[in-house]
């Protein structure tokens, strides 16, 4: 019997789609939701399910930014064949994404037992939500927001890419929150920071989803919940991306900071009172 029903998969797909690219921690929200529904958050198949349905959200990025991605991949392909094409910014950017993804891949493989074990605790999620909120607020205040997407270079991509490790090790910190905060500290404007976060998330989250597929299928989650959860996350994530890009063009991240702190404090309360088990 599957540890996650189709109905629960729909709920988790909505949560994933809404929160994957907002700087509020999709992993944290998924673990909280799983806990409230009585799903064991540290079960190997559940961890795998969480990673797999992220692919639906990544598919939404691929569709939303289809023209940009085709342009970048085409430039990369031309550069592999023709030396003169290697000076093109899109060719360089494609390699930056690859380089910036390597650190999180290495850490993910080495630290997998801890990520799926003690670090999967809801206590870690609660603490990371609060601590990550402080980091996000500080980054938004420190950043001068003077650099656009075209001003970003290899150093920016590497630093932003490496920041994904924080979210990998501390669920609740938020991958998008960590990457956007790092980009803001590097003085990128909010729209540039958000778009860079999207592009850097494509290989990291897709790879994680494909890697965890065997655990999700082989240890208790059937095919139907996986398909449903992934499809729902795709639809909801597409709408979330469109909204977020419009929001950050006019507003600071303060609303997300306040929300994260509120959720973190609430989670501490639920854990302390015994309503939720870590």
User: What is the tens place of the pLDDT at every residue in 61-117?
Assistant: 999 999 999 999 999 999 999 999 999 999 999 999 999 999 999 998 898 888 877
pLDDT score recorded for residue 274: 87
Q: What is the DSSP string of 104-126?
A: HHHHHHHTHHHHTTGGG-HHHHH
Contacts of 163 (CB under 8 A, 6+ apart): 178, 179, 181, 182
CA atoms within 13 A on the CB side of 59: 17
Assess contact for 229 and 9: CB atoms under 8 A.
yes
Q: In this predicted model, what pLDDT tens digit does every residue of 199-210 receive, in sequence order?
A: 998 888 788 777
Express each pLDDT in 260-272 by its tens digit: 999 999 999 989 9
Nearest to 36 by CA among 10, 8, 7, 5: 8
Each residue of 172-188: pLDDT tens digit?
898 999 999 999 999 99
Residue 160: alpha-carbon gap to chain centroid: 13
pLDDT at position 265: 94
Indicate the burial class of 223 (C-beta count within 10 angstroms; 0-12, 13-18, 19 or more): exposed
Distances (CA, A) of 249 to 3, 94, 98: 41, 25, 27
Write out pLDDT tens, residues 116-140.
Answer: 778 878 899 899 999 999 999 999 9
Q: State both tokens at 70.
A: 């085709």
Q: Are 73 and 33 in contact (CB under 8 A)?
A: no
At 160 the pLDDT is 95
pTM of the full structure: 0.86
């Amino acid at each position: 019997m599957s540890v996650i029903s189709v109905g629960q998969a729909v709920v988790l797909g909505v949560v994933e789609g809404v929160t994957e690219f907002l700087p509020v921690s999709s992993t944290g929200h998924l673990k909280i939701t799983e806990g409230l529904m009585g799903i064991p958050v540290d079960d190997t198949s559940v961890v795998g399910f969480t990673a797999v349905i992220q692919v639906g959200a990544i598919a939404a990025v691929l569709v939303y930014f289809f023209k940009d991605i085709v342009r970048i991949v085409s430039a990369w392909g031309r550069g592999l064949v023709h030396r003169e094409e290697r000076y093109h910014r899109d060719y360089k950017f494609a390699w930056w994404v690859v380089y910036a993804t390597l650190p999180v891949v290495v850490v993910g493989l080495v630290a997998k037992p801890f990520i799926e074990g003690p670090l999967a605790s809801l206590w870690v999620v609660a603490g990371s939500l609060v601590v990550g909120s402080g980091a996000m607020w500080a980054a938004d205040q420190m950043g001068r927001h003077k650099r656009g997407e075209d001003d970003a270079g290899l150093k920016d991509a590497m630093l932003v890419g490496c920041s994904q490790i924080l979210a990998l090790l501390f669920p609740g910190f938020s991958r998008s929150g960590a990457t956007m905060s790092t980009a803001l500290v590097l003085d990128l404007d909010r729209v540039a920071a958000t778009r860079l976060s999207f592009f850097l998330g494509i290989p990291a989250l897709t790879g994680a989803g494909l890697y965890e597929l065997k655990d999700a299928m082989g240890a208790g989650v059937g095919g139907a919940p996986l398909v449903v959860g992934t499809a729902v996350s795709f639809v909801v994530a597409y709408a979330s991306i469109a909204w977020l890009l419009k929001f950050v063009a006019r507003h600071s991240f303060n609303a997300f900071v306040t929300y994260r702190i509120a959720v973190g404090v609430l989670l501490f309360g639920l854990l302390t009172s015994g309503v939720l088990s870590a």
